[in-house]
Structure 1
Amino acid sequence: MKILVIGSTGTIGSAIYNDLKKDYNTVYGAHRNSQSYSIDLTKKESIQALFKKLPKLDSIINAAGTAVWKPFSQLTEEDYYVGIQSKLMGQVNLVHLAQEYLNDKGSITLTTGILAEHYEPNAVGLSLINGAIHSFVKSASNELIRDIRLNVVAPGAIAGAFPEDKKFAGYLPVKIEDVVGIYRQILNNSSTGGVYKIY
């Protein structure tokens, strides 16, 4: 199985990348500053350039994307567009382009988070994007070509990266091993259109 992990140096992405390398022979790690597999999700041409460097893939996991954290009263239109261009349209464009570079019955897994459903101060911009991605996955998964599957993982705060005894959006942090386990589960099942919540 040939797997691409985008955001392979982030908290979640690095854990996925390092875990999958234990059991799969071909796991590519891509991130913005990579010398070998660079990607900028805000640019369609960057996404396509990465795919052209790689062989046909069986699975693509995205754990990259950013948004602005600010109180609602301070958010500007430009602040919203940071997240829209990166975490929202970056993932949407990834799905559109990935279909051409995946094998039949391949898998695409996106990443959102707890903020799609639960409130946390200063996170309105990210909540908007997470909720939009959930709706996108539920709908677009019905129309992908060649039985390609599309799912999304929505984790809470990650223990260690966030204080383990402090609640985030009303929930205590989750273990990174449990989060990685969800991505592994999606790799090995036949689901599509799923929103996998772990918090």
Structure 2
Amino acid sequence: MRSGTHPSIKKGKKTMSHSLTDKVALVTGGSRGIGAAIAKRLAADGASVAITYAKDSNAASAVVKEIEEAGGKALAIQADAVSPKAITAAVEKAVAALGKLDILVNNAGTAIPKPFEETTLEEMEHVINLNIRGVFVTTQAALKSMNNKGRIIMIGSCVGERNLTPGLAAYAATKGAVKMFTQSLSREVGGRGITVNNVQPGPIDTDLNPAAGDWATPQKAVTALNRYGTVDEVAALVAFVARPESSYITGANLTVDGGTNA
């Protein structure tokens, strides 16, 4: 660094930090919404980033292009997290392309909002396979290549601790499983200096859960701030626990929910 240069520099309209320089991150489900925001933020903080996507190659390419245009390094890998073979291969491809793995963000997930009595077995299996099994398989594959002092970050949900929204029983159960997986795994990998944390968003404005419409009304009402959050607000918390200075935070469930669970 040149004498007198601040550790962060402005590039375009965004402030670029160097807190993750020389780090390599993999973000599952990184082509849109919260995942895309996380990928862009980690890249802005200096990390090389690989993202996975299930179907929308155009959206994934757009995320990569935005990162590259800002001076970062990124690649997109097609892999549906419901497929153990696909997601394992994606981890291997990311490591091969970027040389190592320091940060894993288990973001891929879904909800199918509807009364539990009306939920089909196929819908239950899809939510379980993506939100739980996909996290297990991705994490296990990543640990084989992850450097010591790495970061594993789950994207859970505030409803994994306390659910106030009808129609999310099955989804809340899977995020409760992610919460306990986080706490348990942190004790298994702590000897390697790897931290494991669970970022739990509340109502966040995305295409899957827009801050408008009938389903959004009860979610907004239970927040303390009386608003939906933004994807950048979630990404900011993820970036914080990914940094070296967060090395003593592990096994934590960190809500960014506007006070929903207050």
Q: TM-score if structure 1 supplies the norm length? A: 0.90
From 84, 91, 97, the counterpart of 2:141: 97
Q: Which amino acid aligns with 2:25?
A: I
| Aligned residue pair count | 199
CA contact 1:68–1:126 (8 Å) conserved in 2: yes
Taking the aligned partners of 2:27 and 2:186, their CA distance within structure 1 comes to 20
Question: Is residue 2:166 matched to residue 1:121?
Answer: yes
3-state DSSP of counterpart to 2:180: helix
From 178, 184, 191, the counterpart of 1:133: 178
Q: Which amino acid aligns with 1:146?
A: R
From 36, 39, 54, the counterpart of 1:17: 39
Shift of 1:74: 0.7
Taking the aligned partners of 2:91 and 2:231, their CA distance within structure 1 comes to 28
Give unpaired runs (5+ residues) of structure 1.
Answer: none
Q: Select between 162-171 and 179-188 the one with higher mean Cα deviation.
A: 162-171
3-state DSSP of counterpart to 1:91: helix
Fraction of identical pairs, as percent: 27
| Per-residue deviation, residues 149-187 of structure 1 (Å, max 9, x unmatched) | 211110011146323994417223123332111101111
3-state DSSP of counterpart to 2:174: helix
Q: TM-score if structure 2 supplies the norm length? A: 0.70
From 106, 123, 148, the counterpart of 2:194: 148
Taking the aligned partners of 2:85 and 2:51, their CA distance within structure 1 comes to 18
From 171, 174, 179, the counterpart of 2:229: 174
- Closer, same or farther in 2 for the Cα pair 1:159/1:69, shift >3 Å? closer
CA contact 2:91–2:138 (8 Å) conserved in 1: no
CA contact 2:88–2:137 (8 Å) conserved in 1: no
Q: Which amino acid aligns with 1:13?
A: G
CA contact 1:71–1:121 (8 Å) conserved in 2: yes
CA contact 1:111–1:152 (8 Å) conserved in 2: yes
From 81, 88, 107, the counterpart of 1:41: 81
- Closer, same or farther in 2 for the Cα pair 1:185/1:25, shift >3 Å? closer
Give unpaired runs (5+ residues) of structure 2.
Answer: 1-22, 62-75, 258-262
Find the counterpart in structure 2 of residue 162 from structure 1: 211
Question: Is residue 2:156 matched to residue 1:107?
Answer: no
3-state DSSP of counterpart to 1:168: helix
Q: Which amino acid aligns with 1:163?
A: A
3-state DSSP of counterpart to 1:105: strand
Shift of 1:75: 1.9
CA contact 1:158–1:174 (8 Å) conserved in 2: yes
Find the counterpart in structure 1 of residue 131 from structure 2: 87
Taking the aligned partners of 1:159 and 1:90, their CA distance within structure 2 comes to 24
Taking the aligned partners of 2:84 and 2:175, their CA distance within structure 1 comes to 20
Taking the aligned partners of 2:168 and 2:35, their CA distance within structure 1 comes to 21
3-state DSSP of counterpart to 2:199: strand
Q: Which amino acid aligns with 1:23?
A: D
Shift of 1:25: 4.6
| Per-residue deviation, residues 5-51 of structure 1 (Å, max 9, x unmatched) | 21111210111112222231512222123484122211221122112
